[in-house]
Amino acid sequence: MLEVSGITQIFGGVVALKDVSFSVSKGDITGVIGPNGAGKTTLFNIVSGIYTQTSGAITLDGKDVSGAPPEYLTRLGMVRTFQNIELFNAMTVRENIMVGRHTRSSSGLLACSLKMPWVLKEEKRIRTEAEKWMEFTGISDLADVTAGNLSFGKGRLLEIARALAVEPRIILMDEPAAGLNSQETFALAQLIRRIRNMGITIVLVEHDMELVMDICDRIVVLNLGMKLAEGTPREIQENHEVIAAYLGED
Amino acid sequence: MQFDQILQYTLSGLSTGAIYALIGIGFSIIYNSTGIINFAQGEFVMLGGMLTLFFVNALQLPLWAAIPCAVLSATVGGMLFERLAIRPLRRPTPLNLVIITIGGSILIRGISMLLWGKDTHSLPPFSGEDPIAVGGATILPQHLWILGITLVIIAVNKFFFYHTISGKAMRACAYNSRAAGLVGIDVRRMVLFSFVISSALGAVAGIIVAPLTMTSYDVGIMLGLKGFCAAIIGGMSGGIATVVGGLILGVLESLGAGLISSGYKDAIAFIILLLILFIRPQGLFGKAESERV
Amino acid sequence: MKRELIKFFMFAVLILVAPLALDGGYLLNVLVFVGINTMLAVALNLLLGYAGQISLGHAGFFGLGAYLSGILTATYGMNPWLVMPLAALIVGILACLIGFPILKLKGHYLAMATLGLGIIIYIVFNETVDYTGGPSGLSGIPNLSLAGITFDSDFKNYYLIWGFTLAVVLFSVNLANSRVGRALRAVHDSEVAARVMGVNARLLKVQIFTLSAVICSLAGSLYAHTITFVSPASFGFNFSIELLTMVVIGGLGSIYGSFLGAALLTLLPEFLRAAHDYDIIIYGGLLMLMVMFMPGGLVRGVPELFRKVFKRKGGAGHA
């Protein structure tokens, strides 16, 4: 579903990524791991359209989307969450998720100002959808809480709910388990499985090895900006180079 | 269009350009230490001239004593401004900072108007008014004072920021205030210093140009904006680039006013500002920035 | 959304009934200007409070509308009702064209750029003497008239202006509580996240900038026909700051807050007649105090103050 081919990214003099290629199959949960500084978040930023790569190509369902901005990729069905969670802090939980419905609605500026009847109908649909995703992620009781007041764990869930509201085909999650305790991580793993069961492809960058080995179908390992290995969790666990990269040569 | 005329415009443009450069350096210093654009910068320029006048007229001080007193007072004003307006800000979002510094500039302007009225005044030139011939053009001794003092300030600036601990500490705060704090630099003090230096610079700029262009309670707005323009052209570096920026601005403005139309003189600076911001916001000499998410 | 309608209805009734309770006089004249300023403050709030984009040059759009209407009706004798939308269209196109490059800027840079833009427009008003009359201004602008009624008294102008203003308020309230309003606030809170949610932030910013400018132009046209005279002094940097102050004092992101701010800042100078020169200090002081102690504006700060006071009085009861 997603092809990353030959991605190289150079910032000033620094080579952040060098010729990274891998593919993500539809319906898979793919993990991208690697020591700090390996280039994982840079890769994510490139795939999700926030940076443009120096060279290489990104293909989504056969369509070349290199250099496409995030708002375009969202309409193609790709969405992402952020390592440091980027919520709309001044808006309520419900409103945050309603923004997720932006690409699934169409009332324009003029129509909204004049409160045309179809705008009201659409607004109701947006609200109903938002409630659905609040329930799915278990945050319905926080519907009217201002997002900026949420705990980190709940904020994570909100970000995921918001991403789900887009009804994407593929979600990129940047360190979703960061800052979560083991209970919350366990719940996260179950949530991610439920999302996959809806037919959504998931790619996650993660440091939490237990989580990664537990839920991922395939794993890509990056080190120092290059792809080190690719395979099933078992293959990765037994890969000497991967072990050396994480633990140092011995 | 004689050469002499162009030379004349260029020379006077260089002199006003030097003033813009000084003001621009003031902007850059604060911006580099704090990320704030101090909208009130221009008011310190105004205070320099107006306070000097006050000390000369009301307190009967001789010029050479009035000037340091004025610079000192303006600097104290800058410190008060940082302490009372900037530091206590709970949510230093760009919007809040813009509003507070605008509010501060209005307040300073308003108080000046109440204290000293709306009239324009002139300061006596530092060393007489006999014109000096340069090529086919003439300059006044005050122009030389301006250029001379500007050069001295630039040299001192360069020395301070690149060869003294305090100066390097301030630059460190600009690059990464958290890291600077971690290595023991008192970031809050550096912020205060940056305001101190900028208001002093602004005041000096105001004093040396006052004999030429008159001063009044509202000269701060235009001077401030044009100084900001110089800073932008120079990429907010606070160094030679800002000086070049100021000089370019001064000369273009002077040439434009003389050769095209004097009514639109002020507009020239702002058109240049907009063009730079649209086309090359990093300044003529800067490198484009990329943002980390 | 019913609540919003009720709020608006009450507001509208208050506005429409006020002149009858007042019995004419000077206050009525001031209230006409409250109407104009409310329209302007709401327009600025949409850009500043909702979309989070700073503009210090909005007086420029106001002036453009006023001069376009003034010149085309007084000097060229065109029909004012045709000129008003024409002026709005011209200002809209200008705003759109300049919006694309200018809104790429953020924070302080955007503030400075809009400031520069406003001043350039002001200088043009002053220098194009043949059309605008320069610093002495342009007079002889006709009043508006409709169906035999000429709007030439405070009473009639009040309803004319406030009719438009109420419409602007209603549309803005609708917009704020809609999908587009949410998208605007999202761009304000986190532009990158908004884009990831599919919001075309760049386009949206330009749209709201243009809408804001068009509303200001409309206000300018109405202003010109109401006082029949315009001069550059009303459209300079000082007025842009006044508008900013109105929005900040009332409350960013609150439409009714903009009315509050506009009303306060238009009425206050009238009550402080003697202190006319002090008003510039008061604006500066108010701005600073507001940002420091009540960043949410009066609309949020005052209720919160009450809440704190009631809590201290031994709080069983309302939260």
Q: In sequence order, what DSSP letters do the residues of B95-121 get, joined into one string?
A: HHHHHHHHHHHHHHHHHHHHHH-S--B
Residue A36: is its pLDDT beyond 90? no
Neighboring chain C residues of A126 at a CB cutoff of 8 Å: 179
Do both B245 and B197 map to the same domain?
Answer: no
**Nearest residue on chain A to B291, judged by CA atoms?**
A51
* Interchain CB contact of B290 with A (< 8 Å): yes
Per-residue pLDDT, B291: 43
- Strands, E, within chain C: which ranges? 138-139, 145-146, 149-150, 229-230
CA dihedral sign, ordered B217, B220, B223, B226: negative
Task: For residues C163-174, give the mean pLDDT.
Answer: 96
List Cβ neighbours of A53 (8 Å cut-off, separation of 6 or more): A7, A8, A9, A17, A46, A66, A67
Do both B228 and B277 map to the same domain?
Answer: yes
Distance from the Cα of residue A131 to its chain's centroid: 21
pLDDT band at C10 (very low <50, low <70, confident <90, very high): very high
Task: For residues C153-179, give the mean pLDDT.
Answer: 94
In a domain, B173, yes or no: no
* Interchain CB contact of A44 with B (< 8 Å): no
With pLDDT > 90 as the criterion, what percentage of chain A qualifies? 66
pLDDT band at C312 (very low <50, low <70, confident <90, very high): low
pLDDT band at C3 (very low <50, low <70, confident <90, very high): confident
Per-residue pLDDT, C317: 45
Of residues B230 and B178, which shows the higher confidence score? B230
* Interchain CB contact of A102 with C (< 8 Å): yes
Neighboring chain C residues of A109 at a CB cutoff of 8 Å: 175, 180, 207-208, 211
Per-residue pLDDT, A250: 43
Q: Distance (Å, rounded) from C-alpha B39 to C-alpha C194?
A: 30
Of residues A12 and C77, which shows the higher confidence score? C77
Phi, psi of C313 (to 5 degrees): -75, 20
Q: Distance (Å, rounded) from C-alpha A208 to C-alpha C165?
A: 57
Do both B230 and B197 map to the same domain?
Answer: no
Q: Do B290 and A11 touch (CB under 8 A)?
A: yes
Q: What is the edge-to-edge ordering of all strands in the sheet holding A2-11?
A: A14-24, A2-11, A55-60, A63-64
Range of the domain at B230: 222-284
In a domain, B168, yes or no: no
Task: Please enumerate residues of C whose Cβ is less than 8 A from a Cβ of A.
Answer: 1, 171-172, 174-175, 178-183, 185-186, 188-190, 192-201, 207-208, 211, 253
Per-residue pLDDT, C276: 64
Q: Where are the domains of chain A?
A: 1-77+168-250, 90-166
Do both B226 and B104 map to the same domain?
Answer: no
Of residues C250 and B132, which shows the higher confidence score? C250
Per-residue pLDDT, A111: 93
Residue A164: is its pLDDT beyond 90? yes
Phi, psi of A8 (to 5 degrees): -125, 135
Domain boundary among B165, B198, B217: B217
Neighboring chain C residues of A86 at a CB cutoff of 8 Å: 190, 192-193, 196
Per-residue pLDDT, B290: 47
**Nearest residue on chain C to B100, judged by CA atoms?**
C288
Residue B289: is its pLDDT beyond 60? no
Task: For residues A145-159, give the mean pLDDT.
Answer: 93
Task: For residues B245-263, give the mean pLDDT.
Answer: 88
Query: A1-77+168-250 belongs to which CATH class?
Result: alpha beta
Task: For residues B135-154, give the mean pLDDT.
Answer: 83
Task: For residues C197-222, give the mean pLDDT.
Answer: 96
Single-letter residue type at A42: T
* Interchain CB contact of B293 with A (< 8 Å): yes
Do both B82 and B227 map to the same domain?
Answer: no
List Cβ neighbours of B12 (8 Å cut-off, separation of 6 or more): B139, B143, B254
Average pLDDT of the residues of chain A: 91
**Nearest residue on chain A to B289, judged by CA atoms?**
A12
Do both B112 and B233 map to the same domain?
Answer: no
Phi, psi of B46 (to 5 degrees): -60, -45
Average pLDDT of the residues of chain B: 84
Per-residue pLDDT, B12: 87
Task: For residues B56-77, give the mean pLDDT.
Answer: 87
Of residues B174 and C179, which shows the higher confidence score? C179
Q: Do A162 and C181 touch (CB under 8 A)?
A: no
* Interchain CB contact of A183 with C (< 8 Å): no
pLDDT band at B235 (very low <50, low <70, confident <90, very high): confident
Average pLDDT of the residues of chain C: 90
Do both B232 and B93 map to the same domain?
Answer: no
For chain A, count helices (H), then strands (E): 10, 10
Comparing CA positions, the residue from C116, C100, C120 lying closest to residue C108 is C116
The string of pLDDT tens digits covering residues A60-93 is 988 999 889 999 999 999 999 998 899 999 999 9
Per-residue pLDDT, B95: 81
Q: Where are the domains of chain C?
A: 2-234
Neighboring chain C residues of A70 at a CB cutoff of 8 Å: 192, 195-196
Of residues A150 and A14, which shows the higher confidence score? A150
Task: For residues C80-97, give the mean pLDDT.
Answer: 96
Q: Point out the residue among A70, A79, A112 whose CB comes nearest to the CB of C178.
A: A112
Task: For residues A18-29, give the mean pLDDT.
Answer: 92
Do both B228 and B109 map to the same domain?
Answer: no
Q: Point out the residue among B97, B109, B274 whose CB comes nearest to the CB of C113.
A: B274
Neighboring chain B residues of A44 at a CB cutoff of 8 Å: none
Task: For residues C103-122, give the mean pLDDT.
Answer: 92
Q: Do B293 and A82 touch (CB under 8 A)?
A: yes
Per-residue pLDDT, C319: 41
Do both B73 and B209 map to the same domain?
Answer: yes
In a domain, B61, yes or no: yes
- Total tally of structural domains belonging to chain B: 2
The string of pLDDT tens digits covering residues C32-72 is 999 999 999 999 999 999 999 999 999 999 999 999 999 99
Q: Do B110 and C281 touch (CB under 8 A)?
A: yes
| Among B86-95, B123-132, B213-222, the range of highest mean pLDDT | B213-222
Per-residue pLDDT, C274: 58
Residue B284 has a CB neighbour count (10 Å cut-off) of 14
Per-residue pLDDT, C315: 47
The string of pLDDT tens digits covering residues A212-240 is 999 999 999 998 888 888 999 989 888 88
